[in-house]
Structure 1
């Protein structure tokens, strides 16, 4: 009986009976209501299909890793590919001659010969939920990891079923902080994209291409305070839509997302976190009211200033550390005056010229700020 069950679960299925899973995290959200052609274009652009096509062209389809499928609800002879959409996409492009004459695909596919693949090996499951545990280990905690946005979409699907972050983390086998930040980031971006029509392009760019930056930002304590996130990720309220336009939470999250989406402000993840070798960071700026307000004002004015992050950082209020630095600098100036006064005859003309230049700079600074 067990043997019969195994044979039922594993079999070769005709390609024309297999369909891409439009809810798959690898498929861009904006493409999910489109046809296979647009989905395949998106997959080509985002997920290096050509590497897989080269492998299939040279070696054929290796059946050692079957697709994972479920029966389509309304059509008994059709199957949805839950795991293996990238492989199915590559096979579709290599076997269907219609793509050879297409303006987008013709040049890309011309180096590769038409494949005569008719069927693909598949494991058949009763429902999607039966596959999800395996996918969680494989793509979130395992060796074939998804990008942050893909992880978030998968975690969201589980969260909507479980409605409990702890249960989701148990299924996925990952830390609550990691999964909580992913889900929170996703809910906020989804909400803002729907609400901010004039800023939709910037927000969609962050969602599709730089989602990991928002997830990284939510791990910084200063940024969490800026966003008024006070609870732990296992107790936080994930209903972000309760925050309306004009609320501190909504406006600050919108600012954060716009800063992260703008390459002129954030072009590197280190500009979010900072550190000893790179103190200029969004995290440091958002810990200071004056610097934060400056960044907001310049953002509202659609500033073209290329060093906006540095300009904002330079407005951080004076603290005790800066006073110490000033005292150190003052002592060095006194030493410089001593050298100039008592050792002038031993100095070269070039050194004297440099000292005079430094003194002129100090005079200019004092006169400008007096």
Structure 2
């Protein structure tokens, strides 16, 4: 039970009760020597309900569950009347369970989920109220709402395909987690619904157009962010003044070039040099055995030339190394 994400289900029970259409599926079997109803589908729902009951009774010490149960006025029947469907045998539901868990019930796309959340918010619900209704987390609800409102703002950008944005909505959603995107667009990710109607201020609509172009492209230009795995790096790019200037002035900018200008490849360069140093140290312990080897001489000459060039690139490093050698 502790390995499952059950708190979101519990919040849904608090707001909506146990929906009959999500009834448990049970079989009557012998358990510990006596006939019992055994749940074959819906164990997460049952586990969430049990933990919620323990939390309301004070018999659980987990802070998260105690906060969920704090001050609640629950339906008197929530823990006493649990909807279930009894089947004759486990084999009767094999096909249903296979479809539900292997093939999977079709879920809404990310943009559709965000639109639904936006509708609830704009019907008057707070982020917290929506969180309780849909069994999510408040920061996720807020981010979905702001992301959807940003999508509506982006519809005003010339040549941008909103269908493309909707298809890659998860990329937009993820990008808003990054400090670089928030600063470049001047988006307040803590804004309440009234302040989040237009996430990007009018003074930054040009930046919004640039952002949309870089992230989603147009019918004639490909986006520079081609993969959701680049989203965090894109945020780092937008923290660099040099990288932003490059992106804004270049008709067809390269993500790799912008990332380098932002210093994004520094950790990789350091890793490569550290790996080379590790290999050299390992080779030094045995290289003396092959001091007359022509192949070793050629390889060592190449290494020396490259190392000398590296020493001259970094200001003052060559003199520092030579002083250490003399010492």
TM-score (norm 2): 0.49
